[in-house]
Structure 1
Amino acid sequence: MALSSSARLLRRALALRASPSFIPQSQTTTWSSSPACFSSSSLFGDDDAATRNPPPPLTTPKLFVSGLSRLTTDEKLQGAFSQFGQLVEAKVITDRASGRSKGFGFVTYASIEEAEKAREGMNAKFLDGWVIFVDPAKPREPKPPPPPQPESDSSETGFRVNKTIGWCG
């Protein structure tokens, strides 16, 4: 027995309504205003982990921003962080060969207080659809010096002796 088009539409609507992904607008819950809202920290037992282990105070106005989208530019980074104070520099680090973002960057403020506000305000927030993390920038570690070359391979004239064994022609 063939179903009419209206019967097929009714059957489809009932199937959608029974699926867990369909929730009528009148039955939705606003979690942010609900007093019974659970945060991830309260679910895992560390209710006040942020108050027990606050981040260390900043010693530099330069911040390291990780988790950036490949589409984030210097201008977008500057626009997102400019609301917290006077920016000296906002730089997304790019790959030399391809020119694409490496997914991290640096933001420098005029004062440490502004950088602290930016770290609190932008850490674990969305930027270009990605969650970013803001930490204090660490100074770049110097590269170790190259190991010394053995002097036995060089002659008195300063030329090196090639000790290739065999011949390829």
Structure 2
Amino acid sequence: MAFSGAFRRLLNGSSSIITSPFASARFSSTLTAPKLFISGLNRNTTDEKLKEAFAPFGQLVEAKVIMDRATQRSKGFAFVTYASIEEAEKAREGMNAKFLDGWVIFVDPAKPKEYRPPPQPESQQSSEFGFRTNKTIGWCGN
């Protein structure tokens, strides 16, 4: 019973259990853009449910649950964009460590997407006789 009380205080933010320097950095970072990263989503959460949950904090520009291309299921995180940084800050304070669809979600500032150079194709090596070696393992053909 003591554990559930401590867990409830932790979720409500009224506990001094969080003393890690990383935890304080998470809650004290300031927003530089009106875009938020939401993690810990239930796999059944849809774009519409996300919009309903975040709409009371301001004018939503976009609320998008990220889906897996192959399975068309949620990856468990989303992005929410507001019209202003102030609205995004209110949403972050109001929704961080709250329940959405039965799961505790975490709301953080979104980081800009990092540039990744496209993968380079492997160069095929030629033998001393001019034949290319195939790295396929096993037998194929007739």
Q: TM-score, normalised by structure 2?
A: 0.72
Which residue identity is paired with 1:163?
T
How far apart in 1 are the matches of 2:103 and 2:109? 20
Deviation digits for residues 16-58 of structure 1 (CA, Å, limit 9, x no counterpart): xxxx9xxxxxxxxxx8xxxxxx94433x485xxx8x7551210
User: Structure 1 residue 131: deviation in Å?
Assistant: 0.3
Shift in alpha-carbon separation, 1:80–1:144, aligned structure 2, 3 A: same
User: Structure 1 residue 144: deviation in Å?
Assistant: 2.8
The SS at the match of 2:81 is strand
The SS at the match of 1:131 is strand
Shift in alpha-carbon separation, 1:167–1:68, aligned structure 2, 3 A: closer
User: Structure 1 residue 148: deviation in Å?
Assistant: 7.0
RMSD: 3.3
Alignment-derived partner of residue 84 in structure 1: 57
User: Structure 1 residue 141: deviation in Å?
Assistant: 1.0
Map 1:105-144 onto structure 2 (within 5 A).
105-144=78-117
Shift in alpha-carbon separation, 1:145–1:100, aligned structure 2, 3 A: closer
Q: Which runs of 5+ in 2 are unaligned?
A: none
How far apart in 2 are the matches of 1:147 and 1:83? 46
Specify the structure having the higher radius of gyration (Cα): 1
Q: Is the 8 A contact 2:39 2:106 kept in 1?
A: yes
How far apart in 2 are the matches of 1:86 and 1:69? 24
Q: Which runs of 5+ in 1 are unaligned?
A: 1-19, 21-30, 32-37, 154-159
Alignment-derived partner of residue 55 in structure 1: 28
Map 1:1-169 onto structure 2 (within 5 A).
39-40=9-10, 41-42=15-16, 44=17, 46=19, 54-147=27-120, 150=123, 153=126, 161-164=131-134, 169=142
How far apart in 1 are the matches of 2:96 and 2:75? 19
Paired-residue identity, %? 63
User: Structure 1 residue 146: deviation in Å?
Assistant: 3.1
* Structure showing greater relative contact order (alpha-carbon pairs closer than 8 Å, 6 or more residues apart): 2
The SS at the match of 2:28 is coil
Deviation digits for residues 61-112 of structure 1 (CA, Å, limit 9, x no counterpart): 0000001101100000001000000000000001111111110000000000
How far apart in 2 are the matches of 1:128 and 1:142? 33
Shift in alpha-carbon separation, 1:65–1:162, aligned structure 2, 3 A: same
How far apart in 1 are the matches of 2:67 and 2:106? 18
The SS at the match of 2:33 is coil
